[in-house]
Every structure is written in C-alpha cells, then in structure tokens.
Amino acid sequence: MTIHVESRNGVCRALVTVEMTIYYAAQLKEDLLPCLELATTLELDLSQVRDMDTAGFQLLLLAKREAERAEKKLHLVAHSPATQEVLNLYNMAAYFDDPPRTPGLTD
Amino acid sequence: MEMDELFQTFIMESRELLSAMEESLLALEAAPNDRESLNSLFRAVHTIKGSAGMLELDAIVIFCHNIETVLDRARDGLVTIDPDLMSLLLSCRDHIAMLVEQVAVDSTTPHKPDTLQSCGLLMDQLKVYQVGVPGAVEKELWHISLRFDSNVLNYGMDPLSYIRQLKNIGEIANLVTLPNALPEAQHMNPESCYLGFEFDFHGKNIDKARIEKVFEFVRNDCTLRIVPPHSHIEEYIELIQELPEDKLRLGELLVDCGSLTRNELNEALDMQRLCAELRPQDGEHPLVCQLGDILVEQLMIPSELVDAALVKQKKALDNKSLEKTLVRIQTAKLDRLINLVGEMVIAGATTNLLALRSKDTALLESTFVLSKLVEEIRDSALQLRMVEIGETFNRFNRVVRDLSHELGKNIILSIHGSDIELDKSVVEKIFEPLMHLVRNSIDHGIESASVRQKRGKPAQGKLQLSAYHESGSIVIEVSDDGGGLNTEKIHAKALEKGLITATQTLSEPEIHELVFAPGFSTAKDVSNISGRGVGMDVVRRDIEALRGTVKIDSREGLGSTIEIRLPLTLAIIDGFMVKVGNTAYVLPLELVMECLELSEAQRLEIRDINYFEVHGTLLPFIRLRQHFRDKSRPSLREYLVVVQYAGQRAGLIVDELLGELQTVIKPLGKLFANLKEISGSTLLGNGEVALILDVAVLIQHTT
C-alpha cells in the first residue's frame, strides 16, 4: 500500500507513505481514489512525501477534482518540503485551498 | 565609396528625410495621436542620426539623439505632443537642416559657433521633455504559453524541471497551471502528462532564443509559444520596418527581429508545405495557407507583428521594384542625351528632305519609320526630365503653417494636381515665384479671422495650389478666398507712381494687371512676410523667363486667383512652319487652331483693316510681313493661321504654309534678347535657320 488510512470522527486522514513520483503513480492512483469513498472529508497527509514530480502532482489534481465532483472535501496537510516546492512552482497552493506552509512548521 | 561620395549620399538622404520629417510633423500636428506619423518621424531622426554617426558628424548625432529621446517618450505616451512641443520639434527639424547644409558646404570645418549655440538652446528646451529618462525602463514581461505532450513524463522529462530552469535565468510571474486537459478518472493515465501552463517571464538579457534553449530537449514534445513583452510589440513592429529591405521573406524578418526563432520558422515552413500538399485534395476549401496565418494560428506571434511584417514585406517588394526602375542620373548626362536627341531630330529632318527629293519609295518608307522612331525617342528623352510638381507644392504646407501662425490667421492649404509633370528645370525655378504668390495671399489676401467673420466668411481661410494641363501648356494656380485686390487703391497707387495717367480709362482686369508693373506695391505696412520691395514684377519676370505667362483674376471681397501658364517642355516642340518672304517661322503646333487660304476678294477686303471674320466672329490678325518689316517681294498668295493662347485667338497672315515638323529650340543669343516676338530659333533639315514665334506675345500685339 502506498497510502495508510486512518479514520476518525468522519475525517479520513490518508498518509502518503511513498514519494509521489511517476514510479508510484499508477499504484498511487489506484490507492488514492478509493480513499475519497471513505469519508466526506479527506485529509491527505503529505509529510512523508520526500519527492514529488509532475505525475504525483497530477494525482493531487485528480483527487481534488474528483472530491469536488463528489461534493466532498480534500485537504492537503503537513506538506513536506518537496510537495510544498512543487505546489509553489505550479502556483497551485491556493487551488488546494491550503495556505502555503513553511516547511518545519507542519503539525 | 569615396568619403566625398559618402557625404554626398548623406546630404541627399538627409534632405529627403528632413522633408519626410516635416511631413510627419505636420501630419502629427493635424492628428496628434497618429502613431504612424510619430513612428515615421522617429525613424527619420533615427536614420539621420545613424548616418551622421557613420560620418562622425557629432554635432548632428548629439542633437538628433536628444530629439529622439523626446520622441521615444512620446511614443511611450510619457510626453504628449502639444503645440509647444510641435513648434520646438519643427525648429529642431530646421536646425538639423541647417547643420546638414553646413556639412554640404564644407564637411571638414566644424559648425559655426552661433549654430552650435542655438543647438544648445534647442537642446535645453528639449530637456524639459526628457525628464525621467534614465531608469524608466519597465519590466519586460515575456508571455510564455506551454502545453506538454502526454508522453513527456515517460521520456523522463518533467515539466517541473523546465520551470525550475527558467527560474534560474529569470523570474516567473503569474503562472497559471491548466488542469483542464485532465481526463476522467478512469481514463487518466497517471504516467501521462496533461498539463499546460501560461505565465509571464522576465529577467536580464532574456531573448527568445534564450528561453527556447531551456526547452531544447522537449522541443518536439510540447507546444511552446513565446510572446515578446507586450509593451514592446510596437518596438518589434518598428524593428521589422527598420530592417534592411532586401530580406524579403517574412519568416526571416521575424527571426531577425527576435520575435520568431529559426525553429519556429522551420516548423511553420513545414506546416506551410504540408498545407500545400494537402490543398489539391481539399477542393472545397481553396484555402491559401500563408506563413503569416499559420504563425498566428499557432499563437507563435501576435498578429500585429505578422501584419507589420507583411506590410514590410510588401513594401520591400515595392521598393525593390521601385529600385529597379529608379536610377540616379547626373543631370549633365541627361542634358547631353537630350542635346543629342535634338541633333538627331535635325539630322532626321535632313534625311527626310533628301529622301523626298530622291523620290525613292523604299528610302522614303524607311525614313518614315525612322522619323516615327525619332519622334518617340524625343518624347521619351524629354520625359526623363519631367518631375511631378507635387513635391514643390508640398513644401508649401510648412510655409502656410508657419506664416499663418505668425500672423495669427487660420489658413488651410489644399493641393490639387500634384501628379502633373513639369520639366525639372522649370520646377526648380517656379518655387520662388510661387513662394512670393503664396506669401502675398497669406499676408494681404486672406483676412484675419475676425474680419472674415464680419464679412460672413468662414473663419478659416482657404489657400489652394493647383496644377493642370491645358492645350499645350501647364497651368498652375494660386488662389485664395481672401479680400481680393482693391481696384481703387491700385488705381490710385498707379497714378501716384506715374504708371498711368488720369485720363486713361482702364477696365478692372487692366487695373489688376498693374500690380505686375515694376516697383508696384500696395501693402500699406511693409510686413515681414511680403512687401520686401520685391514685387509682383519679379514674379512676372521669373515666369516669363520660363516662356510662361502670369495672369490675375480677382474679385473684390471674394478672393483672387493667380494663374501661371507654362510651356510643357523647354527643349523640343512640335512645330508648324510657315514662310514669309524668304524667312521660315515656326509656331508651336498645339497653338495652331486652323489655317485658311485667303482669296483675292478677302485680301482686298482686309487690306486696310486688321480684323477678319471667321465663322461669324471677328478675329484680330497680324500681318507678319509688316510686323517683321520684310522687304521682299509680296507673295501672290496669303494664308491666315489662326492661333490660340490662353483662351485668346488671333490670326497671323503668312505667305506660305510649310507644314509640321519637330523643332529643337535653340535659345537666341543675348544680342536678340530684346526680340520679344521670337522665343528661339531652330535648325531646319536643309541647314537653314527658322525663327520660333512667341505666340503669346504676338497675340498681345493684336489686342
């Protein structure tokens, strides 16, 4: 499994345990999308994501879009420096409705 | 090229550019927001500066540079062109002209101190408009539009890395990631790329090639469009227009000006080729795929750029074809050619004569063809010297503008018949008299706005310069809608000057004619503009020197028209030869209306009178035999030749009609300068001399 899921009070917290790169992309897609079924609000914990490339980023985009379509909430939390950098480069932090956080201050 | 020649070219070019500059300035004054005028103004100054730089004419370079800076700011909208700046720019133009003319006189010595001083004064005035020039350069934002092909990730190329690379050479701003291409979840291949980006980019020394270099390896797997900094699109349009003309191909142009790189050009050329290949099958859509369209469609370059490039391309073609048809020739060479053609005409006439005598049909036939050809050569040779009068007319735009400002009058100049052609030497000599007439009209003719309104005329006065053809001559008119001539004042003045006596009864036109009398001037107050002692008599003298006439038609309160009538050519005319006694005379053929043989009865009838009834109207005539006091035996027959000039007809009684011939006018020597009726002489085929009659003068004798 690339994603470790914990559910608490209707909030589903999914911890991505691998780097979000093209090597894991297929697997991640398969694992990530079903998580949206689990709860109305999904928190995607990126703290363990040591590396992220465009393929990984696209999965975030996909997940966010699918969540919106299902009228659910997807929050990205605990960005790792690598994910933060990609979101900043693509100027997409705002899109994910998460104010960019300085690495090291994540919860 | 010799240094001297370089200077010559510079001076010639600068003169042309200066007149272009004046034109643009006046256009700009009429329409201050006209971008094209501003641009061409800028170009003119810029080109003069460039050429002056090559010749190390520092004074001109520095001066032009200062003007250029102001113009540049005007183009950026930082300076508005108000009347003050307009006047300043006009003075600057005049100053460049002065500097250039000083170089023309002597290119080795520096400019006179007072010239340089006024140079400095003008530059000080320009400074006001130059404030804030340094450091005012704004960020040049390139717009980059990027779409990746789906397979890039598989190839190990990550869009992220390109964005990072760009960040290394500059700054990215306003980046928008476009997720729109992301397919439905089940169809989304996580290893495919679906992203597109739009962003602005800026940095030091960034050019298109540099940006492209970043995408070098992903070139074939993405769609990259780089739009040059928007605020500088004008710059590129300008640049395209400034490029050397011989780079004809649009693509090359765009590559050269940096808004299109060779890669894009090749891509577009490939597409064009593809289109061309596809077209035959695509019968329903006979689309012509043009490079420009493709480039725009592909969003490679803003369409303004393509338009400008196309205009430029077309212009280059035009110029090229114009260049091919234009050759600069020294006038001396041209004159020699025309002289030779003149000789050929005479020699041809001799041959004709001999052929006629020989009665050899074959020879006659060949001489007939030959003389036809000679006639054509004559016409085309004369055509070489013809220039349009428009250029001369256009010089008056500035004159009218300046004078009317000076006098606080509002005057508009309209020009008609700019395309009428005149002999070059005539055009050169007509400027001064025209100048005098125009000054007169503005100064004395057209009233001030308040007077005009009182008289129920529009406040804006009208001055018109026009040229047109009329039976063998060219008519140039200077007309205004001013006050017209004051007949009474002229009459009084003429009396005072003793030009006429109190007992003389004169018609109104006759009184008006008096203004052409030497030393006549009615201006009460001698103004700066006209009335400097040189009167209309000088105008008349100048025009008569060109074998022309000048006439005035004035209506008091309504305005006046001065009509200048000039012969078409100076050198060769189609003549009609007549004979009186043993002397041959030539009349310009186009002035001959008809010829009548006088019967014995008619000759008796007119023996003591000097008019003759032709077609029910009375025609005054001159007996050339009497007029020239020919003492030879009177001939048994007489003919009446009806001539017409400037609407007046008269008859000339001659002994013999010898028919048409081409005549090369040879001026008479100074000895004959007093012979008004003779305008020149010509050599006949048999070596005899014939005198060319000045019909205009003869007609005056009859009235």
Tell me the sheet residues that pair with A41: A11, A73
* Residue B247: predicted pLDDT: 35
Is the CB of B438 inside 8 Å of chain A's CB atoms? no
Residues in B closer than 8 angstroms to A22, CB to CB, are 153-154, 190-191
Give the model's pLDDT for residue B79: 80
Reported as a single tens digit per residue, the pLDDT across B317-359 is 565 555 556 777 777 888 888 888 878 888 888 888 888 888 8
| Mean of pLDDT values over B353-373 | 89
**Which of B43-47, B267-271, B497-501 is predicted least confidently?**
B267-271
Query: For residue B286, what pLDDT is reported?
Result: 39
Question: Are residues A90 and B163, on separate chains, in Cβ contact within 8 Å?
Answer: yes
pLDDT band at B576 (very low <50, low <70, confident <90, very high): very high
User: What is the C-alpha separation between B118 and B121, in angstroms, rounded?
Assistant: 5
Strand pairing report for B171-178 and B222-227: unpaired
Q: What is the mean pLDDT of chain B?
A: 78
Name B6's Cβ contacts closer than 8 Å, sequence gap at least 6.
B54, B55
- Kindly list the residues from chain B whose CB atom is less than 8 angstroms away from the CB atom of residue A26: 190-191
First-to-last alpha carbon distance for chain A, in angstroms, is 23
Q: Average of pLDDT values for B268-277?
A: 53
What's the rounded Cα separation, in Å, for the pair B279 and B285?
A: 8
- Of the residues A62, A69, A95, the best mutation for testing chain B's interface (the one with the most B CB atoms within 10 Å of its CB) is A62
Q: What is the mean pLDDT of residues A22-51?
A: 87
Instruction: Compute the nearest-CA separation of B172 from chain A (Å).
Output: 9
Question: Is residue B639 scored above 90 in pLDDT?
Answer: yes
DSSP B306-355: HHHHHHHHHHHHHHHHHHHH-----HHHHHHHHHHHHHHHHHHHHHHHHH
Decide if B438 contacts B396 (C-beta within 8 A).
yes
Contact B190 A29 (CB under 8 A): yes
Residue B637 scores a pLDDT above 50: yes
Closest CA to B447 of B497, B422, B411, B395: B411
In this prediction, residue B566 carries a pLDDT of: 86
Q: How many cross-chain Cβ pairs, A to B, lie less than 8 Å apart?
A: 58
Which pLDDT value is given to residue B284?
41
Which of B232-241, B494-503, B565-574 shows the highest mean pLDDT?
B494-503
Stretch A84-94: mean pLDDT: 87
Most B CBs within 10 Å: which of A24, A89, A96, as the mutation test of the B interface? A89
Q: Say whether pLDDT at B237 is over 50.
A: no
Q: Give B215→chain A minimum CA distance, Å.
A: 16
Q: Exposure of B593 by Cβ count < 10 A (0-12 exposed, 13-18 middle, 19+ buried)?
A: middle
pLDDT at B366 (0 to 100): 92
Longest dimension (CA), chain B: 124
CB spacing of A25 vs B193 below 8 angstroms:
no
Which residues in chain A are contacts of B153 at CB distance < 8 A? 22, 53-55
Three-state DSSP state, B301? coil
Position B324 scores a pLDDT of: 55
Can you spell out the DSSP letters for B123-141?
HHHHHTTTTT-TT-PPP--
**Is the CB of residue B76 less than 8 Å away from at least one CB of chain A?**
no
pLDDT band with cut points at 50, 70 and 90 for residue A52? very high
Chain A residues 77-106 with CB within 8 Å of chain B: 86, 89-92, 95
SS3 assignment, position B645: strand
- Which A residues in the span 12-71 are in contact with B, Cβ-Cβ below 8 Å? 22, 25-26, 28-29, 33, 53-55, 57-59, 61-62, 65-66
* Residue B183, pLDDT score: 86
Question: Which has the minimum average pLDDT: B53-57, B80-84, B302-306, B458-462?
Answer: B302-306
For residue B461, the one-letter residue type is G
Give the model's pLDDT for residue B283.
Answer: 42
Query: Quick check: helix, strand or coil at residue B567?
Result: strand
Rounded Cα–Cα distance for residues A75 and A44 (Å): 6
Q: Which residues of B51-69 are buried (b: 16+ CB within 10 A; e: fewer)?
A: bbeebebebbbebbebbbb
Confidence of residue B9 (pLDDT cuts 50, 70, 90): confident
Phi, psi of B439 (to 5 degrees): -60, -45
Minimal Cα distance from A28: which residue of B? B190
Chosen for mutation from B146, B147, B160 (greatest number of chain A CBs closer than 10 Å) is B160
Rounded Cα gap, residues A4 and B26, in angstroms: 78
Instruction: Establish if B179 touches chain A: CB-CB under 8 angstroms.
Output: yes
Whole-number Å distance between alpha carbons of B659 and B574: 11
Which residue in chain B has the smallest CA separation from A95?
B177
For the sheet with B638-645, list strands across it: B592-598, B638-645, B648-654, B617-623, B611-614
Which residues from A are below 8 Å from B158, CB to CB?
Answer: 53-54
**Res B579: pLDDT:** 92
Taking CA atoms, what residue in A is nearest to B182? A62
Provide the pLDDT for residue B479. Answer: 92
Contacts of A93 in chain B (CB under 8 A): none
Residues of chain A contacting B190 with CB distance shorter than 8 Å: 22, 25-26, 28-29, 55, 58-59
Q: Per residue in B173-207, pLDDT tens?
A: 778 787 777 888 888 888 888 888 878 788 777 77
| Residue B581 clears pLDDT 70, i.e. is over it | yes
Confidence of residue B467 (pLDDT cuts 50, 70, 90): very high
Model confidence at B464, in pLDDT bands (50, 70, 90)?
very high
| Contact call for A26 and B190, based on CB within 8 A | yes
Provide the shortest C-alpha distance from residue B169 to chain A (in Å).
Answer: 15
| Predicted pLDDT of residue B294 | 55
Mean pLDDT (chain A) is 82
Min distance B137 CA to chain A CA atoms (Å): 27
Range 94-153 of B in CB contact (< 8 A) with A: 153
Angle at B144 between CA B170 and CA B215, to 5 degrees: 75
Report all structural domains of chain A as residue ranges with CATH numbers, in order of start: 3-89 (3.30.750.24)
DSSP assignment of A46-88 equals -TT---B-HHHHHHHHHHHHHHHHTT-EEEEES--HHHHHHHH
pLDDT (tens digit per residue) in B412-451: 999 999 888 888 878 888 888 898 889 888 888 888 888 8
Task: Say how far apart CA B626 and CA B619 lie, in whole Å.
Answer: 18
Closest CB to A54: pick one of B176, B188, B193. Answer: B193
**DSSP string across B648-689:** EEEEEEESEEEEEEEEE-BPPPGGGTT-TTEEEEEE-TTS-E
In terms of DSSP bridges, do strands B656-664 and B572-580 run parallel, antiparallel, or are they unpaired? Answer: antiparallel
| A55/B191 Cβ within 8 A | yes
* Nearest-CA distance B208 → chain A (Å): 22
Pairwise CA distance, residues B639 & B482, whole Å: 47
CA distance A22 to chain B (A): 6
Is B164 in contact with A89 (Cβ distance < 8 A)? yes
Of residues B607 and B646, more confidence is placed in B607
Tokens found for residue B166 = 């760009």
B190: nearest CB among A25, A92, A95: A25
What pLDDT, on a 0 to 100 scale, did the predictor assign at position B369? 92
* Residue from the list B163, B164, B194 with its beta carbon closest to the beta carbon of A58: B194
| Dihedral in degrees, nearest 10, Cα atoms B163, B166, B168, B173 | -80
Residue B70 near residue B45, CB atoms below 8 Å: no
Q: Closest-CA residue in chain B for A90?
A: B177
Q: How many helices (H) and strands (E) does chain B have?
A: 23, 21
Smallest Cβ distance to A62: which of B167, B188, B197? Answer: B188
The conformation of residue B408, written as its DSSP 8-state character, comes to T
Q: How confident is the model at residue B640 (pLDDT cuts 50, 70, 90)?
A: very high
User: B188, B189, B193, B195: best mutation site toward chain A, by most A Cβ within 10 Å?
Assistant: B188
Residue type (1 letter), B608: D
pLDDT class of B376 with cuts at 50, 70, 90: confident
Residue B72 has pLDDT above 60, yes or no: yes
Answer whether residue B532 shows pLDDT above 90: no
The reply to whether residue B177 touches residue A90, judged by beta carbons under 8 angstroms, is yes
Mean pLDDT calculated for residue range B557-584: 83
Separation of alpha carbons B247 and B263, rounded Å: 18
Label the pairing between strands B611-614 and A3-8: unpaired
Of B526, B525, B518, B524, nearest to B498 (Cα)?
B518
Q: What confidence score (pLDDT) does residue B173 get?
A: 76
Q: B174 in helix, strand or coil?
A: strand
Which bin fits B5, alpha (ψ -120 to 50), beta or left (φ > 0)? alpha
Query: For residue B635, what is the enclosing H or E element?
Result: none
Q: What is the pLDDT of residue A43?
A: 87
Closest CA to B49 of B4, B88, B89, B18: B18
**Are the Cβ atoms of A54 and B159 closer than 8 angstroms?**
yes
Record: contact B160-A89, CB cut-off 8 A: yes
Burial class (CB in 10 A: 0-12, 13-18, 19+), B669: exposed
